[in-house]
Amino acid sequence: MKFEGINNIKSYYYNNPKLQVILKMESSYVHRTIRKREDVGRQGTICSLKFTPDGKNIVCASKNYIEVWDIESGNQIRKIKATTGTFSWVNDVAVSLDGKYIASGIENIRIKVWEFSSGNLVWEAKTMSAVIKVDVSADGKYVIGAATPYSGIRTWDLETGELIDKFKTGGYSRTFAISSDNNYIVYQKGKKAIYVWDVSSRTKIRELKTKKIGWVYALVITPDMKYVISGSYNKRIHVWDFSTGEKITTIEGHKGPVYSLVCTPDGKYLISGSGDWTIKIWEISTGQLTRTLTGHKGAVFAVAISPDGKYIAGGSTDQTIIIWKIT
């Protein structure tokens, strides 16, 4: 795998209190920089990134707003004010498989679903805790949200907002992952083990243990359902066999917390974003580091990969989104 993109960004971008989307296409120079007025500091932090299913747009969460950017032109095509208030930011976003909806998890104990084409609110549901993580099921029918510790993990009908199911995690959990067949949800309970939840039987069927797992900020299940992978505040990435729960390996290399993980569509590589300002690409089967992407001047809270596997995106506390082309 070869990654094209700049390896450093001038301090100008870090000091500029505006959101930037920086596209590195076919050279080692900035292809396009898009700016919009944003407040300094946390006001511009990128908390979450998702590509649309057609790969033409990228959706990001930044403080009170959801932003939609056109990849080809570099233009901002939509800005949704999802919430108001100093302590009521958007924690996470997800895009439905048909591209019609954007789901968002809000700090002020709400999940909201928006129409992609218009930016209009379709429905919202109140929870008992901040919604930290949201995702759309692999069949595109449901929205799943983690609102722990009080509301647990809940499932809503994507189009109607009807509450379908819920279960208590028994402790604080920052994230979860859904299997590609929709049958399993993986989550962490407090700082202890990671558990596999069987959706149909509504039972906990497997426990994944390891020493010093710490707070887990990111979880993924590989597309082939072969591995469960976690990223922790203690800088470690752990890999388990999904079917047996056996620990396969621990990957070390980041010098800061691992905040975000995503797998390539073929399931061969893992992409991690960290508090050490870097994005790293690992071969899952061997745990070997294949490339480190630099350029951010702050913690990388979000990483995403386009559906065709051609682009990697990183979102950071430095208020930038950087996109690398994979060739």
> How high is the pLDDT of residue 260?
97
Q: Cβ(259)–Cβ(281) under 8 Å? A: no
Q: What is the pLDDT of residues 61-114, one digit of tens each?
A: 988 999 999 887 878 899 999 998 777 899 999 999 999 999 999 998 899 999
> How high is the pLDDT of residue 170?
76
Q: Cβ(17)–Cβ(320) under 8 Å? A: no
Q: Cβ(219)–Cβ(175) under 8 Å? A: yes
Q: What is the spatial distance between Cα 155 and Cα 169, in angstroms, rounded to a whole number? A: 14
**Mean of the per-residue pLDDT values for the chain?**
84
Q: DSSP letters of 169-194?
A: -SS--S-EEE-TTSSEEEEE-TTS-E
> How high is the pLDDT of residue 42?
47
> How high is the pLDDT of residue 71?
82
Q: What is the spatial distance between Cα 253 and Cα 276, in angstroms, rounded to a whole number? A: 10
Residue in the block written with tokens 């998890």: 105
Which of the given ranges, 4-18, 99-113, 204-218, 305-319, has the highest pLDDT on average? 99-113
Structure confidence at residue 23 as a pLDDT band (50, 70, 90): very low
- Which has more pLDDT, 157 or 86? 157
Structure confidence at residue 168 as a pLDDT band (50, 70, 90): confident
> How high is the pLDDT of residue 195?
92
Q: What is the mean pLDDT of residues 202-224?
A: 90
Structure confidence at residue 141 as a pLDDT band (50, 70, 90): very high
Contacts of 79 (CB under 8 A, 6+ apart): 36, 65, 66, 67, 68, 119
Contacts of 115 (CB under 8 A, 6+ apart): 100, 101, 121, 122
> How high is the pLDDT of residue 286?
93
Q: Cβ(13)–Cβ(297) under 8 Å? A: yes
Q: What is the CATH number of domain 169-252?
A: 2.40.10.480
> How high is the pLDDT of residue 109?
86
Least confident of 13-27, 62-76, 188-202, 286-300: 13-27
Structure confidence at residue 194 as a pLDDT band (50, 70, 90): very high
> How high is the pLDDT of residue 43?
54
> How high is the pLDDT of residue 325?
82
Tell me the whole-structure pTM to 2 decimals. 0.86
Going from N- to C-terminal start, the domains of the chain cover: 169-252
> How high is the pLDDT of residue 327?
66
Checking if the pLDDT of 300 tops 90, the result is: yes
> How high is the pLDDT of residue 4?
38
Question: How many CA atoms lie within 13 Å of 10's alpha carbon, on the beta-carbon side?
Answer: 5
Q: What is the spatial distance between Cα 273 and Cα 238, in angstroms, rounded to a whole number? A: 15
> How high is the pLDDT of residue 180?
93
